Amino acid sequence: MTSDPTGSRPADPHAAGTSPAGASSAGASSAAASSAAAVPAEATEPAPQAPARLLLVDDEPGLRTAVKAYLEDEGFVVTTANDGEEGWTLAQDLLPDVIISDVMMPRLDGYGLLQRLRGDERLGGTPVIFLTAKGMTADRIAGFNAGADDYIPKPFDPDELVARVHNVVRRQERLLAEAARFADADIGQMAKQITEIRSLLSSSGSKKPPAAVRLEFTPREASVLQLVAEGLMNKEIARRLETSIRNVEKYVSRLFTKTGTSSRTELVRYALEHGLVE
């Protein structure tokens, strides 16, 4: 497969006003004031968004090189792996935004790689696009059932691949933004309630757990519970534990089930009453 590099997109030029020669001192002062007023506007411009980081896993060197070059021309940051085993190792180090993987590969195929990713706490929510010569409907269904986010049969149009990658990235960004919005909506109220619960339990001397309570948490569940009790919301917990918001939501849901609670406030109260957190 060959591809023509895309043309570079010129940056928008910054207009700069100049004062005409021979302007009066009043005109110069006005121009200086306008220039000074323009500074804050530039300072408040949002920082450019970091390019999406892609991990391309394929055992065909020629395809790897061509696809990497094409995606990089489109502004993505691309790392490549020769097979699923190398892809798994790199994914743990890089924590990519999207993984594009062939299915039929030596050592570890695409399905095996996907299974490891979905079972990993930090990588479980990473979008995966299968890129493979197998185009039968049954194969596509198997890929989707295994947890793939998209499926592109070879041979493919490079522009279609770019469009699908962009679509997956935007969808992931929407999900994270929506989750963060709901997580942060009541952070002030939640912090206030936690403070009140701690104060109430401290004054009543009921911080020691009843002997009958015996709950078993995984190390990650215990970490999430502690951070919830500290008043952190899902986005902050995900950042602190270097995992996805989706995984944090999964752990909080498990904590609700194990403690018989149905809200974060109830969960915190239960944890504090039974000495499950500090």
Is the domain of 65 the same as that of 162?
Answer: yes
Q: Looking at the domain assignment, is residue 43 inside a domain?
A: no
Is the domain of 157 the same as that of 237?
Answer: no
Q: Give me the pLDDT at residue 198, please.
A: 59
Is the domain of 154 the same as that of 190?
Answer: no
Q: Looking at the domain assignment, is residue 23 inside a domain?
A: no
Query: How many other C-beta atoms lie within 10 A of the C-beta of residue 174?
Result: 10
Is the domain of 138 the same as that of 72?
Answer: yes
pLDDT one-digit tens code per residue, 195-207: 665 566 555 554 4
Taking the CA atoms of residue 223, residue 227, residue 233 and residue 235 in that order, the dihedral angle to the nearest 10 degrees is -50
Query: How many other C-beta atoms lie within 10 A of the C-beta of residue 195?
Result: 11
pLDDT one-digit tens code per residue, 220-235: 888 898 888 888 888 7
Q: Looking at the domain assignment, is residue 6 inside a domain?
A: no
Q: With 90 as the cut, is the pLDDT of residue 46 above it?
A: no
Q: Residue 129 belongs to what domain range?
A: 53-180
Q: With 50 as the cut, is the pLDDT of residue 51 above it?
A: yes
Q: Using pLDDT thresholds of 50, 70 and 90, give the confidence band for residue 86.
A: very high
The answer to whether the pTM exceeds 0.85 is no
Instruction: Identify the residue with better confidence: 90 or 217.
Output: 90
What is the chain's Cα-based Rg? 26
Q: Looking at the domain assignment, is residue 216 inside a domain?
A: yes
How many domains is the chain partitioned into structurally? Answer: 2
Contact 158, 177 (CB under 8 A): no
Is the domain of 173 the same as that of 264?
Answer: no
Q: Using pLDDT thresholds of 50, 70 and 90, give the confidence band for residue 190.
A: low
Q: Looking at the domain assignment, is residue 104 inside a domain?
A: yes
Mean pLDDT lowest among 8-12, 102-106, 140-144: 8-12
The domain boundary residue, chosen from 147, 180, 213: 180
Residue recorded with tokens 């701690």: 198
Residues, the chain: 278
Is the domain of 149 the same as that of 172?
Answer: yes
For residue 70, give the CATH number of its domain: 3.40.50.2300
φ, ψ for residue 158 (rounded to 5)? -55, -35
Q: With 50 as the cut, is the pLDDT of residue 6 above it?
A: no
Is the domain of 157 the same as that of 199?
Answer: no
Cβ contacts of residue 77 below 8 Å, gap of 6+?
Answer: 51, 52, 53, 54
Q: Give me the pLDDT at residue 52, please.
A: 86
Most confident region among 20-29, 73-82, 124-133, 192-201 by mean pLDDT: 73-82
The domain boundary residue, chosen from 180, 212, 245: 180
Q: With 50 as the cut, is the pLDDT of residue 22 above it?
A: no
Q: Looking at the domain assignment, is residue 1 inside a domain?
A: no
For residue 228, give the CATH number of its domain: 1.10.10.10
Q: With 90 as the cut, is the pLDDT of residue 261 above it?
A: no
34 vs 32: CA distance, rounded Å: 5
Contact 106, 87 (CB under 8 A): no
Q: With 50 as the cut, is the pLDDT of residue 149 above it?
A: yes
